């Protein structure tokens, strides 16, 4: 019985490996992409009401335009489809709070890092796996982590600056929609250009969105709703590891 099970398992693994190889999942598909670019974020408005503020306070939250760096590992390539894992970092970003109800009040910038990771499914409308020029579209899923630095938390909770009761990292599921083009330069080297929009629920840094009970008037709230859009443009190098 044990020999029979081992034989079936061996045949299954062999068949699966052959099928995966035929579909483009092979060492030849391995690519390492190193990219750099820019991130631009949409802003979000908010209004804090009684009991936290009387009269009401209105403001705007803006994540700064910033440089970003990412690494992508492609592990599937077919005539029309590809798949890659990715990780990106914005190491010195900041979130800026501006009071619109008190125009003379100074802005409060809070330093933070932004991490983004997940998987992209690429679709190549034309060309073959070894074509020199390959335009593509892609759809990705993953997570975005908005992480205040220790200095940022100190600024956010300082009564003279942010005056938040707490200010911690926000983790949000993220969806990416983008397009780009790959250009092969040699057997082991190529170039890549991408533009994309990453969409998450707007971060609130651990603060509740709704006004809390009167008995907790010292608790901070951040009533920000809707979607945060992160528009990206990157250019980078492709290293073909399997060719």
Domain ranges of the chain: 26-240
pLDDT band at 213, cuts 50/70/90?
Answer: low
Which one is the CATH code of 26-240: 2.40.160.20, 3.40.50.300, 2.120.10.30, 3.40.50.720? Answer: 2.40.160.20
Kindly report whether the peptide bond that precedes residue 98 is cis, defined as omega within 30 degrees of 0.
no
How far, in Å, are 65, 173, 196, 207, 224 from residue 82 at the CA level? 30, 22, 17, 39, 36
pLDDT of residue 184: 95
- 85-115 per-position pLDDT tens digit: 999 999 999 999 999 988 888 999 999 999 9
How far, in Å, are 10, 104, 207 from residue 164 at the CA level? 60, 20, 9
Which helix or strand (DSSP H or E) is residue 230 part of? strand 227-240
pLDDT band at 226, cuts 50/70/90?
Answer: very high
pLDDT at 7 over 80: no
pLDDT (mean) for 63-75? 96
The CA-based diameter of the chain, rounded to the nearest angstrom, is 81
118-146 burial string, b = 16+ CB within 10 Å, else e?
bebebebeeeeeeeeebbbebebebebbb
Mean pLDDT of the chain: 87
Q: What distance in Å separates the CA atoms of residue 160 and residue 136, rounded to the nearest whole number?
A: 49
DSSP 168: -
More confident residue, 75 or 5: 75
pLDDT of residue 124: 96
Name the phi and psi angles at 96, rounded to 5.
-115, 130
pLDDT at 19 over 50: no
- 165-195 per-position pLDDT tens digit: 899 999 999 999 999 999 999 999 999 999 9
Name the phi and psi angles at 226, rounded to 5.
90, -160
pLDDT at 17 over 60: no
> How many CA atoms does the CB half-sphere of 211 hold within 13 Å?
14
How far, in Å, are 100, 126, 178 from residue 43 at the CA level? 13, 37, 21
pLDDT of residue 77: 87
pLDDT band at 30, cuts 50/70/90?
Answer: very high
């Amino acid at each position: 019985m044990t020999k029979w099970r081992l034989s079936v398992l061996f045949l299954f693994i062999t068949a699966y490996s052959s099928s995966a190889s035929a579909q483009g999942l092979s060492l030849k598909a391995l690519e390492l992409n190193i990219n750099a670019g820019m991130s631009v974020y949409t802003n979000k408005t908010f209004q804090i009401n009684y009991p936290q503020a009387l009269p009401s306070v209105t403001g705007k939250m803006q994540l700064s335009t910033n440089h970003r760096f990412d690494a992508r590992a492609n592990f599937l390539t077919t005539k029309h489809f590809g798949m890659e894992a990715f990780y990106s970092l914005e190491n010195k970003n900041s979130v800026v709070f501006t009071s619109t109800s008190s125009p003379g009040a100074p802005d409060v910038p809070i330093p933070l890092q932004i991490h983004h990771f997940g998987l992209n499914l690429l679709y190549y409308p034309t060309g073959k796996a070894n074509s020199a020029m390959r335009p593509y579209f892609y759809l990705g899923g993953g997570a975005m982590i908005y992480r205040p630095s220790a200095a940022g938390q100190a600024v956010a909770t300082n009564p003279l600056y942010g005056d938040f009761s707490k200010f911690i990292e926000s983790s949000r599921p993220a969806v990416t929609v983008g397009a780009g083009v790959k250009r092969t330069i040699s057997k082991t080297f190529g170039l890549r250009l991408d533009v994309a929009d990453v969409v998450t629920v707007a971060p609130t840094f651990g603060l509740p969105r709704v006004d809390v009970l009167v008995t907790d008037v010292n608790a901070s709230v951040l009533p920000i709703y809707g979607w945060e859009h992160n528009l990206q443009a990157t250019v980078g190098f492709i290293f073909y590891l399997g060719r």
